[in-house]
Every structure is written in structure tokens, then in C-alpha cells.
Amino acid sequence: MATITDIGLAAAINILSALVFLVAFAVLRLQPINDRVYFSKWYLKGARSSPNHSGTFVHKFVNLNLRSYLRFLEWMPAALKMPELELIDHAGLDSAVFLRIYLIGLKIFIPITILAFSVLVPVNWTNSTLKNSNKVYTDIDDLSISNVPTGSQRFLAHSVMAYVFTFWSCYVLHKEYEIVVAMRLHFLASMKRRPDQFTVLVRNVPPDPDESISELVEHFFLVNHPDHYLTQQVVYNANKLAKLVEEKKQMENWRDYYQLKYDRNPLKRPTRKTGFWGLYGHKVDAIDLYTSKIDKLSKEEAAEHENIIKNPKYIMPAAFVSFRTRWGAAVCAQTQQTRNPTLWETEWAPEPRDIYWQNLSIPFVSISVRKLIVVVSFFFLTVFFLIPIALVQSLANIEGIEKAAPFLKPLIEIRIIKSFIQGFLAGIVLKIFLILLPMILMLMSKF
């Protein structure tokens, strides 16, 4: 069982780790090389220019102004004091909501902590149930509900406090959600118009022998949404073209790298081997090599683009339909277009950066099967994800380690190591598994 020492050591390690990460963040954001990472919104607005364009070579990567390091945490009180509307304009809506999450935590847990220590702790601590029993316990267990005898009227205090804590948490969450929803609506109303706010993604367009997909989509929406329809763009299966474009970008990056290398030292032309990863083969001029590859890919890209435009088999039964008003787009996105619910399926069009373009060419039946597979996989992931966590955490305690590795028993019995294992190791193992979970879910989202 964890003792006060174990809990104190775990708290000390977590607090120290949080301070280290905070200082690392505050120092890294001062470095010119990270400027676009930490101030990307300012660059989009044109309110900030890159510090890499001026100064010596070292100044382009490292901030040598010692005064800035003395006040490297000044941004924290400034961010907390900043009005929400100004904070949204300065750092975005996500930043304002993120700060409110901390405020929610304070609003919920400070009153709960005060009530727990003023009501529940005295109720539990003034008993002697554990002391009179033969069970092994620690000082921290005297403060828990396990110190209350069976059938005692003191359980009423725990029941009442459970309702109080639940009511207070729900009340605070309800109020904060109202504030956040109002902030979001105000943000959406005040932001610049974007094409995706007026666009709907239409899928499973039925084939027509007399019309092309493009003509069919235009005719359908001119008839059913005559007052709001604006234009449409059919979806092409351009996965092969996308691969060529991506490969061409990589070749251009390598060519630019070697060109910069040559510009710095014009007396020597950069060379590269023609084999795999440049590890073997004949040495050739690197700039000429990548220039020839880019020219070849440009021709293939142009040929594939022309083939996509001319060949009807590349046109998919899907299209992006734009409307004159947001209201028209909202009505179309949220209503069934025909009697058959599997045809002319509509949904809000995501932003171009949020679209996984490779999946747009998947047929309707295949999408339905994949959705079913993902739902079933998610169910089994939820159920069976607990098994490896339980197995690993069973080894992350004193008894589990001693059974698995008896030769470590003398080392484990050292007080500080024992406190570390009981107070911190199980938590860090759980965090490692939680780091893997988003990666698994991301792979499932692309399936």
C-alpha cells in the first residue's frame, strides 16, 4: 500500500517534471529557429517577420540576449490577465478554451477539497476500525472510507457528499459549456468567410447513362436547390498524381539543398552516388541528377493530369457543391436528398487540409464495410486495451517485480527506490500506454 512518503515522492517527481517542461518550453520559444513554431498565427496575420533574415549565423538559431532569459516567464501572467476577446484575437479560440479548462478545474476541485477535508476526513479519521483489525494499513488509510466500520451511520456523510460533489461538478460544467458555446458562436460569426462554410460534400452519386457525373450533379442541385446552388466540382481519383507531386516535391527539396551547398562553395560541385540512398553506385553531379529527375517527374505529372481530365473512369461518384449562403449549405448538409438514403449522401465539407484525399475514391459499399470494421475494432480495442495495462501495471508494483525478478529484491527494499516504484512507476507505465493510444486511433481513422 502506498504511504505518505510514496505519495510525496510521486508528487515531487511530477511537480519537478512539470517545472522542467515549463522552463524548456519558455526557453525554446525564445530561440529564433523556433519562431515560426510558437508564433505561427502572427506570421499568418503578417504581424511578425522571421528573425532568421538578419544578424550573424549564430543569432539566426540561438537567442544571445541574456535579458530575455531573465523575463522568460512574463508571458504567463500577461496571458492570464488578458481579456478573452483579446486573447482569442491574439492566440486563437483554442488558447482561450484551454485556459478555461484550468479555471474549470479550480472551480470544481477547490470547493470539493475544502468540503472533503472539513467533513469527510474528520468522519474517517476519528474511527479506529483499522487499528483494531489485523489488516496491514498505512497512515494514509486512516483518512479513507476503509476506516469507517460496517453499518455505521457515518456512511451517510459519504452519501450526502457524493451527491453534493456530483451536483457541483455538473453545475460548473453546465455553466462553463454555456460560456464556451457562446464564445464559439461569436468567433464563427466574427471570423472571415471560408469556402468550406458554404460547401457540402456529396457522395454516392448514382450513375446516369445520358449525363456525366458533373452534369448530373449540377442538374440535380439546380432542380432541388434553385435559390441557393452556386457551383460544383466533381472528385477525381488522383491518387497516382498525388504520389507524383509528392515525389517531385522531395526531389525539388534535394535539388535546392545541393544548390545552396554549391552557392556557399562555388569552387566545388556537390556529387552523389546513384545507388540506393546514395550509398553505392557511380558518382554524378547532384544538382544535374535531381534536375533530370524533376524534369522526368514533371512530364509524368503532366501526362497523368491530362489522362485524369480526359478519361471518365477517373471521375468518382462524389462532388463538392457550393452554395450562395451558409443557410442553404446547412439545409443541404443536414437533410436527406432522395427517398433512397444511400444515394446523394450529403455532409459538411471539411477544410482541404482535413481531407484524407486517398479515401475519397473509396466506393460506398467499401466505406460502409470499413466503418463496420472500425466500429468493431474500436470495441475490441476498448475491451482488450485494459489487459496489457493490467499485466504491465501488475509488474509495476513491489510484489509483481519481486515475483518476476527475485534477484532485485535487495535493491527494491531500499526505501527511496521502494517509494519510487509504489508512487510513480505504475503511473508512468499507464502514461506510456496512453501515448500509444492516439497513434492507434489515427491509423484507424485513415482505414
What is the per-residue pLDDT across 129-162, written as a single tens digit (0 to 9) for each? 777 776 666 667 777 777 777 778 888 888 899 9
Among the candidates 138, 158, 189, a domain finishes at 189
Residues 255 and 119 in one domain: no
The owner of cell 540576449 is 65
pLDDT at 332: 93
- Mean pLDDT of all residues in 237-243: 86
pLDDT at 208: 86
CA 309 – CA 322 distance, rounded (Å): 21
| Contact (CB, 8 A) for 309 and 252 | no
The domain in which residue 35 lies consists of 4-189
| Contact (CB, 8 A) for 117 and 92 | no
Q: What is the pLDDT of residues 316-326, one digit of tens each?
A: 888 999 999 98
CA 14 – CA 351 distance, rounded (Å): 38
Q: What is the pLDDT of residues 6-39, one digit of tens each?
A: 677 777 877 888 889 888 888 888 888 877 777 7
Residues 32 and 178 in one domain: yes
- The model's confidence at residue 1, banded by pLDDT at 50, 70 and 90, is low
Residues 299 and 391 in one domain: no
pLDDT at 223: 92
Closest CA to 235 of 343, 346, 319, 356: 319
pLDDT at 111: 94
The total of other beta-carbon atoms located within 10 Å of residue 184's CB is 12
Residues 293 and 173 in one domain: no
Among the candidates 328, 361, 394, a domain finishes at 361
pLDDT at 361: 67
Q: How far is CA 86 from CA 72, 101, 143, 187, in A?
A: 21, 18, 45, 12
Residues 30 and 120 in one domain: yes
Q: Is the dihedral of CA 403, 407, 411, 414 positive or negative?
A: positive
How many domains are there within the chain? Answer: 3
- The model's confidence at residue 112, banded by pLDDT at 50, 70 and 90, is very high
Task: Please list the alpha-helical segments (H only) found in 191-225.
Answer: 213-224
pLDDT at 400: 62
Q: What is the pLDDT of residues 252-266, one digit of tens each?
A: 988 888 888 888 888
Residue 367 covered by a domain: no
Residue 304 covered by a domain: yes
Residue 98 covered by a domain: yes
Q: How far is CA 2 from CA 8, 123, 315, 383, 394, in A?
A: 10, 21, 64, 28, 15
Q: Say which residue, 379 or 267, is predicted with more confidence.
A: 379
Q: What angle do CA 270, 271, 276 make, to 5 degrees?
A: 135
Residues 270 and 401 in one domain: no
User: Residue 338 corresponds to which cell in the numbers above?
Assistant: 432522395
Among the candidates 140, 156, 189, a domain finishes at 189
**Rounded to the nearest 10 degrees, what angle do helices 426-445 and 364-384 cross at?**
170
Residues 209 and 357 in one domain: yes
Residues 185 and 209 in one domain: no
User: Residue 235 corresponds to which cell in the numbers above?
Assistant: 472528385
pLDDT at 323: 94
Residue 149 covered by a domain: yes
Residue 61 covered by a domain: yes
Q: φ, ψ for residue 424 (rounded to 5)?
A: -135, -35
Percent of the chain topping pLDDT 90: 20
Residues 119 and 30 in one domain: yes
Q: Does pLDDT of 394 surpass 70? A: no
Residues 182 and 204 in one domain: no
Residues 32 and 10 in one domain: yes
- Mean pLDDT of all residues in 412-439: 72
Q: How many residues does the chain have?
A: 447
pLDDT at 217: 92
User: Residue 222 corresponds to which cell in the numbers above?
Assistant: 439546380
Residue 366 covered by a domain: no
- The model's confidence at residue 224, banded by pLDDT at 50, 70 and 90, is very high
Residues 130 and 242 in one domain: no
- Mean pLDDT of all residues in 366-373: 86
